[in-house]
Amino acid sequence: MKEKILQKFGEVFGGDTGAAVYFAPGRVNLIGEHTDYNGGHVFPCALTIGTYGVARQRADRKLRFFSMNFEHLGVLESSLDELKPDKAAGWTNYPKGVLWAFEEKGFEIPYGMDLLLYGNIPNGSGLSSSASVEVLTGFILRDMFGFSVTNQDLALIGQFSENRFNGVNCGIMDQFAIAMGKENHAIFLDTADLKFEYAPIRLEGAKIVIACSNKKRGLGDSKYNERRSECETALAELQEVVGIHSLGDLTEEQFEQYKSAIKDDVRKKRAKHAVYENQRTMQAVEALKAADIAKFGQLMNDSHVSLRDDYEVTGAELDALVEAAWEVDGVIGSRMTGAGFGGCTVSIVRTDAIDGFIEKVGAQYLKKIGYAADFYVVEIGDGPRAI
């Protein structure tokens, strides 16, 4: 891969002298969905698929971007003096947002760069291609200019850029999972205070299979911000009767005790999901520590039901994939992953059942939805690095 992208960089930008190669992973969340902005726990892991970058410092303030995934767009030019969001700038708003965020945080970027990207994360899949680009850009800047920032800082800067530059009110999970990824481990993260622990993933005789619905979704124009707002209103109503900072502070019993304070039935369902999903995530990590993979799988299934019925973010495509998965022998658990409204499902499947799983779920999905899904048997990988 390194030779391939270096060669392309040389073709596009005139030689590869002085260029360096980098990688940042994508991520999948095993359980704990729509909890990260509700002060709850999440349980994501970095993947071995992600975004490759080739970067070279320039002697001027010009920025030149090229993506091998969007070759038809050619080289997109900008400047360090023009760091503002622009719909016409397309995917380059993500690296530009990180450049802007570094400067907002007081880091001076004296020179521009030539940057080529190649991602093998399915675009619009919900496996965090945008957060992967953000963390990758931050890692490149740290390496190029010697900035004193930790990987955790890179995650926070990436989130800041997505919130403030790209206008997506995302939580911290995606950037954190990517920046802090560790091979064969998931990250049990408390999003309220960023305390975390690495939990080894031992799936004896099973693997993680991601099914991409191929229904494209964009966070900014989905109902993501609407769900977030519904939870914020529900929290404010609950705070009138109980002293909490976030929905993640409540147990299931406390929620049932105080839920009548929420004036609207829809908001009640949204808040119920946030509370119960947080508790499910904590239970899932305990199950994993106890090597109770069957319980972990059941909690994944319960998570999907809650996302479908209480949070209402699944949609026909994701439901079709998960419901087909539940019918296949050898499936330990299956649920939607990511923001929803399209994107992917994540399943834990016994190794000897994977071929049958892909065949059966794929056929049922095609019959029900009318176009094909793509399947990826994935490994859990490390965080960002120079190659």
pLDDT score at 220: 45
Q: Name the pTM for this structure.
A: 0.91
Q: Which of 16, 36, 174, 190 is catalytic?
A: 174
SS3 for 127? coil
pLDDT score at 170: 82
The Cα 117–Cα 158 span in angstroms is 17
Which amino acid is located at 230 in the chain?
E
Residue 3 near residue 139 (C-beta atoms within 8 A): no
% pLDDT > 90, the chain: 90
Residue 284 near residue 199 (C-beta atoms within 8 A): no
Q: 37-96, pLDDT tens digit by residue?
A: 999 999 999 999 999 999 999 999 999 999 999 999 999 999 999 999 998 899 999 999
Q: Tokens for 140? A: 């490149």
| Ramachandran angles phi, psi of 9, nearest 5° | -60, -45
Among 118-132, 216-230, 284-298, 322-336, the minimum mean pLDDT is found in: 216-230
Residue 347 near residue 333 (C-beta atoms within 8 A): yes
User: In angstroms, how far is the first alpha carbon of the chain from the final one?
Assistant: 10
Q: 148-206, pLDDT tens digit by residue?
A: 999 999 999 999 999 999 988 888 999 999 999 999 999 999 999 999 999 999 888 99
Q: What are the domain boundaries of the chain?
A: 2-199
pLDDT score at 241: 97
The Cα 179–Cα 334 span in angstroms is 25
Q: If you average pLDDT over residues 123-127, what whole number do you get?
A: 68
pLDDT score at 122: 74
Q: Quick check: is 264 catalytic? A: no
Quick check: 265 pLDDT over 60?
A: yes
pLDDT score at 154: 98
Which of 242 and 121 is assigned the larger pLDDT? Answer: 242
Rounded to the nearest 10 degrees, the angle between the axes of helix 265-289 and helix 224-239 is 100
Which amino acid is located at 10 in the chain?
G
pLDDT score at 253: 98
Which residues, including other chains, have CB under 8 Å from residue 313's CB and lie 6 or more apart?
34, 223, 227, 307, 336, 339, 340, 341
The Cα 198–Cα 234 span in angstroms is 32
Query: Does the structural domain 2-199 have CATH classification 3.30.230.10?
Result: yes
- What dihedral angle (degrees, nearest 10) is formed by the CA atoms of 159, 165, 169, 173? -20
pLDDT score at 123: 67
The Cα 363–Cα 247 span in angstroms is 40
Quick check: 270 pLDDT over 70?
A: yes
Q: 202-243, pLDDT tens digit by residue?
A: 888 999 999 999 986 655 456 888 999 999 999 999 999 999
The Cα 7–Cα 4 span in angstroms is 5
The Cα 257–Cα 82 span in angstroms is 52
Residue 123 near residue 129 (C-beta atoms within 8 A): yes
Place of tokens 């049958």: 356
Predicted confidence band of residue 129 (pLDDT cuts 50, 70, 90): confident
